[in-house]
Structure 1
Amino acid sequence: MKNPGNMKELIYIHLHPINQYVISYGIEFQEFMRSLPEVPPHLLLLKHKFEGSDFNMHTRFDYIEAGDFPHLLKEDVGEYGDFCWIDFEDTDGLNEMEGWEVAEILYLAHSKEHLRTPFYSKLNNRYAYLSHDDEWFNKTYYRHIPDFYSMLGTLIALKLGLFRSERSFFALKKGSAFPPIPPEMVARLSGGMKEGVAISLSKAEQSRFKVEVPMWVVGDHISMDDVFDDYMASFRKQPDAQLVFDKKTHEWSIFS
């Protein structure tokens, strides 16, 4: 594992739209949850070490309700090793799951591969979140890919704001924050994301009027070490695209 301190400043995205999942590095569970367009009502915990969960006798899985999310969000789930969950709407639907569906979900959590697309009408789930050493390797399935674009646009603004406060670099007016990047704008980057991109906050540049966040196409990787190697070889070159925040209008734009 190389240079883990850069994880907070580097986001890797590899989009697989046909199978409706995204491989990512540099996005942790807490940030993901705070960036979703809607908070899920329940999480079915497939692999975890959280001690505050309830137990569902029918599926033999632990689960938590939305009211317990703040406790889970305080956990360092990256220390769990595997951390996997599926959201679900209500326990009535959970109790109607058939054996083959439970078997599919068990396989999904064990192998982090789907037998069939992991969306179940009885659960009405929008996500399947599969991570190992959370933030280091995350594979997330999205029932609706626009939810991914919305999450990423919110997350980049969130991380940029945190990065700004830590480094006192991206100065905005007191009390102001970066607004989310509109999902339709993020969608315009999907071509590069299908190849695998690195978005760097540490290489963002600021002038009096704008902040420019660069993005490079770095390819398909399953190891963050390889992502970092390709990123280090790329960042001295012209970015493949830039997310640009106008300080005067408080609006985002994309240049590619």
Structure 2
Amino acid sequence: MSGGSDLIKDIIYINGDRRNHCFLTSGITFREFAGNIPSPLQSLLLLKHNFEWTDLNYHTLLEYVEEENVQRLIAADVEQFGEFCWVDVDDINDLDELEPAEIAELLYLAHKKEPIGKPFFPLLKNKYVYLSRDDGWYNKVYYRRLQDFSAMLSKVIPYKLGSFGRRRLLLFQKTRIYPAISKDIMEQLLPYAEDGLLFDLSHKDDSRRGLEIPLFVIGSFSGTDDILENLSEVKREASERAWLIFDKKDQEWKLSFE
């Protein structure tokens, strides 16, 4: 990880596997993920973490966060945890019913960042498997429902644009709020995510027509540093380019391919 770099805040990189409902992302933090998924997180079984507001489940010898402390976790500096891995749990009491083989699968999941079999546990009814190193730099997430990833991304991009606005505007000025990206646009974008899709928010163009964000299909990268250190070259060698445009007149997002 390139310590202290703000560049990661200005890009979103997605390398997805739609068949397995798995998406590797850079540029989306746990806080941004948790704030933009379709329904709030409740109880979480922590597999790797450095969070203090936890309870211990004596059957699994793993720590968990109850719903009352989830907001503390979302507010924490998760990037400083190093590795941060969890699965959500429908009912915390179900942890006591896990078989030894299921506990072993959970430990393997956190250690190897991939499942032995399926990443979803019928007993836990988990919607997500969240596996990260240096949160926001390397996040690998399995989604039970593919549409939950689309819904999250459709809100994260406008959310990040608003966040950037707050950094630059004076206190008395209002932050511009952008609507979520439509389902139709997201359905067009997702196939490109499987080939490595880069949103370059740092080079957005705010014109009279609207806000235009350049997109690049750049292929697979094992680390975010490889992208950021060679960003100009990576974009120049992109196999496809497009623009995600917020049309000020129509007040909606549009997609334009070069």
Tell whether 2:202 aligns with 1:202: yes
Tell whether 2:55 aligns with 1:59: no
Match in the other structure for 1:128: 129
Deviations 1:184-224 (CA, angstroms, capped at 9, x unpaired): 42121122110101101111101123101111011101111
Match in the other structure for 2:8: 7
Cα distance in 2 for partners of 1:6, 1:96 equals 44
Any conservation in 2 of the 1:150–1:182 contact (CA below 8 Å)? Answer: no
Q: AA paired with 1:147?
A: D
Specify whether residues 93 and 245 from structure 1 end up closer, same or farther in structure 2 by C-alpha distance, changes over 3 A only.
Answer: same
Match in the other structure for 1:36: 37
Q: AA paired with 2:177?
A: A
Any conservation in 1 of the 2:218–2:235 contact (CA below 8 Å)? Answer: no
Cα distance in 1 for partners of 2:221, 2:253 equals 29
Structure 1: 5+ residue stretches without partners: none
Match in the other structure for 1:76: 77
Cα distance in 2 for partners of 1:142, 1:154 equals 16
Match in the other structure for 1:218: 218
Match in the other structure for 2:193: 193
**Corresponding residue SS for 1:249:** coil
Specify whether residues 16 and 109 from structure 1 end up closer, same or farther in structure 2 by C-alpha distance, changes over 3 A only.
Answer: same
Specify whether residues 224 and 198 from structure 1 end up closer, same or farther in structure 2 by C-alpha distance, changes over 3 A only.
Answer: same
Cα distance in 2 for partners of 1:6, 1:138 equals 16
1:229: how far off?
A: 4.3
Within 5 Å, give how 1:16-35 maps onto structure 2.
16-35=17-36
Cα distance in 2 for partners of 1:150, 1:247 equals 22
Larger mean CA deviation between 245-254 and 214-223 belongs to 245-254
Any conservation in 2 of the 1:83–1:134 contact (CA below 8 Å)? Answer: yes
Q: AA paired with 1:212?
A: E
**Corresponding residue SS for 1:130:** strand
**Corresponding residue SS for 1:180:** coil
> TM-score, normalising length from structure 1?
0.92
**Corresponding residue SS for 1:240:** strand
Cα distance in 1 for partners of 2:175, 2:32 equals 20
Q: AA paired with 1:13?
A: I
> TM-score, normalising length from structure 2?
0.91
Specify whether residues 103 and 184 from structure 1 end up closer, same or farther in structure 2 by C-alpha distance, changes over 3 A only.
Answer: farther
**Corresponding residue SS for 2:97:** coil
Specify whether residues 43 and 228 from structure 1 end up closer, same or farther in structure 2 by C-alpha distance, changes over 3 A only.
Answer: same
Instruction: State the number of aligned residues.
Output: 253
Any conservation in 1 of the 2:215–2:242 contact (CA below 8 Å)? Answer: yes
Any conservation in 2 of the 1:198–1:231 contact (CA below 8 Å)? Answer: no
Match in the other structure for 1:102: 103
Match in the other structure for 2:254: 253
Match in the other structure for 2:168: 167
Cα distance in 1 for partners of 2:42, 2:128 equals 12
Match in the other structure for 1:179: 179
Larger mean CA deviation between 65-74 and 157-166 belongs to 65-74
Identity %: 39
Structure 2: 5+ residue stretches without partners: none
Cα distance in 2 for partners of 1:205, 1:236 equals 18
Any conservation in 2 of the 1:216–1:231 contact (CA below 8 Å)? Answer: no
**Corresponding residue SS for 2:23:** strand
Deviations 1:17-54 (CA, angstroms, capped at 9, x unpaired): 12221111111111110011111221111101111011
1:234: how far off?
A: 4.2
Tell whether 2:129 aligns with 1:137: no
Q: AA paired with 1:197?
A: L
Match in the other structure for 1:92: 93
Any conservation in 1 of the 2:165–2:176 contact (CA below 8 Å)? Answer: no
Q: AA paired with 1:24?
A: T
